[in-house]
Structure 1
Amino acid sequence: MDRSGVVVNPRLGLTLYCSQEYSCKPGSRHVPAISVRTCPRPVVAVSIIALSLALGLGLGGCNRPSLSDVTGSIGGSDSLPNTNAGMRRYAEEWGRRYDSNRTDKRIAMNYARALRALTQHTQAVAVLRGLAITHPRDMEVLGAYGKALADDGKLQEAAKVLQNAHTPERPNWSILSAQGSVADQLGDHERAREFYGSALKIRPNDPAVLSNLGLSYALSRNLPTAETTLRDAVAQPAADMRVRQNLALVLALQGKFGEAEEVSRRDLAPADAASNVAEIRRMISQSNTWSAIRQVDRRPAARPKGAAAKRPTPGAS
């Protein structure tokens, strides 16, 4: 799966996951004039929203939870540039090529990847929809299109497209995981876990799939199983920050605040880890959860360890 951060979601906003965002040069033709963060947004801040909404967050204590793919997707293959200037150049370059040849698969796919990384999901959907029209039987195109639809919140349409992005004879684990993420967001958690189980048969112990599976259990209010599954995900060598922060979220939702903070500190500065856990604790203990959830989603992102203290100025290289 690509690392745009929803599929799902996602951001699977569950994405399950936290996408990486970049500052964009104002006035650019292909890169919308927005200012976003250069450091990954903590999964806690993203996941708590989808989880809370799905569970209705009658948490009232510590034994019930509250997600961005509702489980956002987390896997990825090709890496995108990880600097502001690099991402701007990448998007501008592929945007120019796309203007000259909109039916070329490689050009359209790369441009759509850049748009998704910039969280411009509606525009990515438009690019991939056109490509799907000219490549109606290309499963790679359909897979990217279905994931972009999920990113954009078009879940029913995403489910239909993803269903045609692989075959029973040759199932694709990445598509199966994306289908699970969509099913979770649609509230069909049992079906979602069937998709994740099928994906894990092809890709055993994949941390992205295990993480989505763990959050699916959390959505079903089965926090002990969610914790066990997420601990398995974290134990995998390829597990990243998003997987660990999802575990921290589920630990905090069970009242295991000390353990949650300890897990968060593997990737975040101690103050940011403590702040994330304290925010979850505060939301659990108060009644006006909807308001709190919205406020958390608008909070400035915490910086991973070693990140520069100063945010880049929009448009700066």
Structure 2
Amino acid sequence: MAACLTSLRSALLTGAALVAIGVAVAGCAGKSNITTGSVPKSSKPIGEMNATELRNAADSIGQAYEKNPRDPQVGMNYANVLRMNGRNEQALAVMQQVAISNPSNREVLAAYGKAQAAAGQLEQALNTILRAQTPDRPDWRLKSAEGAILDQLGRSGEARQRYREALDLNPNEPSVLSNLGMSYVLARDLKTAETYLRSAVAQPGADSSVRQNLALTVGLQGRFQEAETIARQELTAAQAEANVAYLRSMLTQQNAWKKLAADDSGNTN
């Protein structure tokens, strides 16, 4: 059960939690992560792809990366889709090269830190983010990325402070509100999480991952029909049904959520 919550924590903090559960994590009983990005034109956003489409996207973006490995956007998209395919070590290697080629690009450094975190290098990831941040010109994206890493380290109080600092710099930013909401999911304070996620969804820039995080949070409270309705707004019927079915199976196990809480109690604040 502790391993299950660890996988869930990783999925939540990549920005596409419910999609990740249905596609990448594939359930704690099976094999086991966002930011979403776009693959070459005419393709779906990464967060809407199934497993086969994600593998094809990795091949397609990989070819673009080979042609221009210094391009920051191509590199970040490639690392992102690699992580969605569970290829965290390769994603980290890609971001290392992109960071070397773009040492002053703070968006790249934030993505590099996330890749380190996904590969389990949490302290290194935190150091990367802190090095990229500048006190005289703080970047809200780096604040949010720092918060996500702190959440993975179990330092939820510090994480939420970073999210609030990010919101001071960029008020009502949906991705930050979503991260803040998911921080409360990790602490199993689902009512508070839902409040922040509904606020995130209401913002003009909210993307699919934000709405899927809301669907996840609603589903974790046992409101499966409502969760499926939210999920269906972004996914195909089959994807939405698969996600809700997974949540239902996970949470209808005897005392499943209580066991998760007990097994991971030492990792939350």
TM-score scaled by length of structure 1: 0.61
Q: Give the aligned partner of residue 148 of structure 1.
A: 115
Counterpart of 2:222 in 1: which secondary structure? coil
- Report the CA distance shift for 1:164/1:49 in structure 2 as closer, same or farther (over 3 A): farther
Tell me the distance in 2 between the aligned counterparts of 1:86 and 1:224: 36
The 3 A distance-change label for structure 1 pair 161 and 267 is same
Following the alignment from structure 1 to structure 2, what is the Cα–Cα distance between the partners of residues 80 and 10? 25
2:104 pairs with 1:94: no
- Asked if the contact 1:108/1:127 (under 8 Å) is kept, the reply is no
Query: Where does residue 239 of structure 1 map in the other structure?
Result: 206
Kindly state the Cα deviation for residue 202 of structure 1 after the two structures are TM-superposed.
1.4
Could you say which residue in structure 2 is the equivalent of 1:18?
16
Contact map agreement 2:11 2:21 (CA 8 A) in 1: no
| CA pair 198-147 structure 1, distance change in 2 beyond 3 A | same
Aligned position for 1:116: 80
Summarize the alignment of residues 191-270 of structure 1 with structure 2, pairs less than 5 Å apart.
191-270=158-237
SS of 1:156's equivalent in the other structure is helix
1:187 aligns with 2:135: no
Q: Which amino acid aligns with 1:18?
A: A
Return the TM-score normalized by structure 2.
0.71
Where does 1:75-86 land on structure 2 (aligned, <5 Å)? 79-81=38-40, 83=43
CA deviations over 1:94-146 (Å, ceiling 9, x no partner): 31444xxxxxxx44763454243233432342344356567766645533322
- AA matched with 2:126: A
Count of matched residue pairs: 233
Letter in 2 for 1:91: G
* 2:113 aligned counterpart, secondary structure: helix
Structure 1 residues 46 and 191, CA gap change in structure 2 (3 angstroms): farther
- The Cα shift of 1:208 comes to 1.1
For the 8 Å contact 1:184–1:216, the answer to whether it is kept is yes
Tell me how far apart the structure 2 counterparts of residues 114 and 10 of structure 1 sit (CA, whole Å).
Answer: 22
Structure 1, unpaired ranges of 5+ = 1-8, 20-40, 53-67, 99-105, 294-317
**Residues 169/273 of structure 1: CA separation in 2 closer, same or farther (3 Å cut):** same
- 1:251/1:93 CA distance change after superposition, 3 Å: closer
Indicate the structure whose relative CO is greater, using CA pairs within 8 Å and at least 6 residues apart.
Answer: 1
Aligned counterpart, 1:36: none
Alignment-derived partner of residue 35 in structure 1: none
Pick aligned residue for 1:74 from 35, 54, 66:
35
* Aligned CA distance change for structure 1 residues 10 and 149 (closer, same or farther; 3 Å): farther
2:36/2:80 contact within 8 Å kept: no
Native 8 Å contact 1:230 1:243 kept in 2: yes
Quote the sequence identity (%): 42
Deviation at 1:258, TM superposition (A): 2.6
- Determine whether 1:42 maps to 2:1: no
Return closer, same or farther for 1:163/1:15 CA change in 2, 3 Å cut-off.
Answer: same
Match of 1:168 in 2: 135
In structure 1, distance between residues paired with 2:222 and 2:109: 42
Distance 1:178 1:208 in 2: 10
Structure possessing the higher radius of gyration over alpha carbons: 1
> Relative to 1, partners in 2 of residues 1:47 and 1:218: Cα closer, same or farther, differing over 3 Å?
farther
> Any idea what the Cα deviations from partners look like across 1:12-59, whole Å, max 9, x if unmatched?
53244339xxxxxxxxxxxxxxxxxxxxx7255379989x9xxxxxxx
Q: Which amino acid aligns with 2:19?
A: P
Give the letter aligned to residue 94 of structure 1. Answer: Y
Change in Cα spacing, 1:267 to 1:136, as seen in structure 2 (3 Å) is closer
In 2: Cα distance, 1:258 partner to 1:205 partner: 28
Counterpart residue identity of residue 109, structure 2: L
> Structure 2: which 5+ runs fail to align?
1-6, 44-52, 261-269
Cα distance between partner residues in 2 of 1:219 and 1:255: 16
Instruction: Indicate conservation of the 8 Å contact 2:75/2:98, yes or no.
Output: no
Structure 2 letter corresponding to 1:198: E
Task: Report deviation, 1:10.
Answer: 9.9
Cα distance per residue 1:213-239 (max 9 Å; x no partner): 111011112111111111111111222
